[in-house]
Amino acid sequence: MLFNTKSVAQKRADFRKALTSGKTLQFPGAFSPLVAMLIEQLGFDGVYISGAVLSNDLGLPDVGMTTLTEVSQRGRAISRVTALPAIIDVDTGFGEPMSCARTVQEMEELGLAGCHFEDQINPKRCGHLDNKGLVDSSSMVKKIKAAADAKRDKNFLIIARTDARASEGLEQAIDRAKAYVDAGAEMIFPEALQDEGEFEKFRKAIKVPLLANMTEFGKSKLLPLKTLNSLGYNLVIYPVTTLRLAMKAVEDGLKEIKTKGTQEELLDQMQHRKRLYEILHYEDYNQFDQSIFNFKV
Which residues carry out catalysis? 48, 62, 89, 91, 116, 118, 126, 161, 191, 213
Q: Is the dihedral of CA 138, 141, 147, 149 positive or negative?
A: negative
Residue 29 and residue 235 in contact, taking contact as beta carbons nearer than 8 Å: no
User: Which candidate, 192, 257, 203, places its Cα nearest to that of 229?
Assistant: 203
Q: Using CA atoms, how far apart are residues 150 and 127, in angstroms rounded to an integer?
A: 26
Note every long-range contact of 68-71, with CB atoms under 8 Å and residues 24 or more positions apart, other chains counting.
68/94, 68/99, 68/102, 68/103, 68/106
Residue 130 and residue 166 in contact, taking contact as beta carbons nearer than 8 Å: yes
Q: Using CA atoms, how far apart are residues 49 and 89, in angstroms rounded to an integer?
A: 6
Residue 27 and residue 235 in contact, taking contact as beta carbons nearer than 8 Å: yes
Provide the CA 242 distance to its chain's centre, in angstroms: 12
Q: Is the dihedral of CA 64, 70, 74, 76 positive or negative?
A: positive
Q: Using CA atoms, how far apart are residues 158 and 181, in angstroms rounded to an integer?
A: 10
Residue 162 and residue 188 in contact, taking contact as beta carbons nearer than 8 Å: yes
Q: Using CA atoms, how far apart are residues 120 and 125, in angstroms rounded to an integer?
A: 8
User: Which candidate, 185, 245, 209, places its Cα nearest to that of 46?
Assistant: 209
Q: For residue 19, how many other CB atoms are within 10 A of its CB?
A: 20
